[in-house]
Amino acid sequence: MSVLNIREAQREGARLVISLAGISGGGKTYTALQLAYGLANFNSRKVGFIDTENRRGSLYAEILKNDAGEIQRFQIGDLDAPFSPKRYTEAILEFQNAGVEVLVLDSGSHEWEGTGGCEEIAERGAVRGMKDWSTSKSEHKKFVNTMLASNMHIIVCVRAREKVKISKDGSGKTVVESQGMQPICEKNFMFEMTASMLMWNEGTAQTVIKCPAELKPILGRESGYITAADGKALRDWVDGAKQLDPAIEAARNMLRSISEQGMDAYRAAWPKLPKKVQKALVDDGSHESLKAAAEAFDKQRVDSKPGGAALDDLNKELAEDGDAGAFE
C-alpha cells in the first residue's frame, strides 16, 4: 500500500488558512471580515463567523456592504466554553457542512488558554506536578489538521499581548523591557498557516510573520488597510489554479479527516461515496494513500499499549480476511 500519492506538481484546489494576531482594537475582526467577503466573491451568505467572544461578533453585523451601500449579512454561530480543540473542530465542520466557503474564527486564542482549552487540558491531566502536554498537544494538532484539510478558506483571529522582561539594573532599580507582541496561541500555530501577520494601529499596519512570495503583493504590503478587494485578489489567485471537481475534493477532505479515526471508520465511510467519486479517488492515488494513513493511525494507537505490535498483526490478518476486498 502506497504511503505517498506521487504526481506532477500543480497549484490546484488551494485553500487558504490565514491568521491575524493583535491586541484588542488592533483591527483583527474588521479586517478578517472584509478579507472573507472578497474571498467569498462578495457573496456574504458564503461567509461564516465562529464567535467565541460572548456575541461580540454580532456588533459587526452591518459592516459588509455591496457597491450600492446595501448591508450584506453573513452567517454567525456562537461557540461557548469549554473551548476545547474538539469543540472548535466540531464548530468548523458544522459551518463546512452548511456550505460556507470562507470561515472567520474569532478568536483562536481561547482554544489555547481559554476555559477548557489546551492549557487546562494539560493541567487537568497532571501527574505528580507534571502537566499532560502530550494529550493537550495531540488534541491541538487535530484542531489544526481540521483547518488545514477543510474545504473552506479560514481566517483565524488571534489575541496578542505585550511580552516583557523584568530585571534589575546596576543600582538595583527594576527595569521593564518590552520584548514585542506575543500571539496567544501554541508556539508553532502562526507558522502552520498559509500566511500570518501581526496587526497594528486599528488595522492600518501589519508585520508579516509568514507569507508566500506569490501573496506578498496582497498581504505583505505592511501598511494600509487590508480590504475586501484584497480578499477578491486572493480569490482570483486561487481560481487561477487548476479547478478541481468540488464533489471529489469534498470527499477527499472528508476521508482525510476520517482516516484519523482508523480503518474501521474509513471502511464505513468509503461505500457511502458515489461510484464516480470512488473511481476518481482510486485513479488519482488518493484512496491508497488515505488507507495507508488510516492504518498508520491505528498502528500508533495500538503500539502505545502493551503488546501492541502483536495485536496490530492480528488486526491486519482480520482485515485481510474480512471486507478488505471492497477497497480494491
pLDDT averaged per 10 residues in sequence order, the chain, 328 residues: 66 83 92 97 97 94 95 96 96 94 97 96 91 94 93 96 77 74 93 94 92 91 92 90 70 83 90 90 85 86 62 50 43
CA 17, distance to chain mean position in Å, is 6
pLDDT of residue 178: 67
Q: Which of 61, 13, 16 is nearest to 38 (CA)?
A: 16
CA 186, distance to chain mean position in Å, is 13
pLDDT of residue 308: 53
pLDDT of residue 18: 97
Q: Which of 327, 150, 101, 154 is nearest to 250 (CA)?
A: 150
Secondary structure (3-state) at 310: helix
Write the CA distances from 206 to 26, 198, 211, 225, integer angstroms. 10, 5, 12, 9
* 322 bridge partner residues: none
pLDDT of residue 326: 43
pLDDT of residue 205: 92
d(CA 270, CA 263): 10
- Domains with residue ranges and CATH for the chain: 17-239 (3.40.50), 246-327 (no CATH)
Q: Nearest 10 degrees: CA dihedral of 173, 177, 183, 184?
A: 0
Whether the model clears a pTM of 0.85, i.e. scores above it, the answer is no
Q: What angle do CA 17, 19, 20 make, to 5 degrees?
A: 150
Q: Which of 216, 103, 97 is nearest to 154 (CA)?
A: 103
The answer to whether 141 and 91 are in contact (CB under 8 A) is: no
